[in-house]
Structure 1
Amino acid sequence: MTMIIRILGEGQYDVADDALDRLNQLDDAVEAAVEAGDEAAFTAALHALHEGVRTVGVAHALDSLDESDLILPPADADLEDVRHLLEDDGLIPG
């Protein structure tokens, strides 16, 4: 199976379920940086998470109206913006 992950301001990617473990590791780094209040680590971790999605995912058809399964904050999001988005499981549940 695949899930559709949207990076706000960029687009959607089809990501195979077997790639989620790797993305969860990157998500953990985002969550740790937010918890620590470390803006520099947060920026680097969010960039790595976006790159991870782009690397393991395939661009979803631009003309598709499919809903996203997960939505990631945009590249220019700040730590406080993301702090409000985090749930117990981070940005990527699992």
Structure 2
Amino acid sequence: MIVRIMGEGQVKLDDSHFAELNKLDDELLAEMEGGDEPGFRRTLGALLDAVRSMGAPLPDDSLEPSELILPAPDASLEEVRDMLSDDGLIPS
């Protein structure tokens, strides 16, 4: 799966990593619903770090369609809330 982190680029990520990413996504969703800004920041960073470490970056000139788009590391709670589906950022 091709994942885009807004403002950074694309990463090719094996589907086997999605169980771990979904745990972080669920945690992020709970923190957003509870208005926990410090928890939200920490978990968003952990989610993006996990994608970066588990995936392989695509070249900057690659034009692959992204199957999943994640917010930039400095995205606000409100910006991320606008990106959410019922399942969070990562579909189950």
Pair in the same fold by TM > 0.5:
yes
RMSD: 0.8
Match of 2:81 among 66, 79, 83: 83
Q: Unpaired segments of 5 or more residues in structure 2?
A: none
Map 1:67-82 to 2 at 5 A: 67-82=65-80
State the TM-score, normalized to the length of structure 2. 0.96
Match of 1:55 in 2: 53
Structure 1 stretches (4+) deviating beyond 6 angstroms? none
Which whole-Å CA distance do the structure 2 matches of 1:23 and 1:60 have between them? 19
Which whole-Å CA distance do the structure 2 matches of 1:29 and 1:21 have between them? 13
Letter in 2 for 1:25: K
Match of 1:37 in 2: 35
Letter in 1 for 2:49: E
Q: Percent identity?
A: 51
Q: Unpaired segments of 5 or more residues in structure 1?
A: none
Match of 1:24 among 22, 28, 41: 22
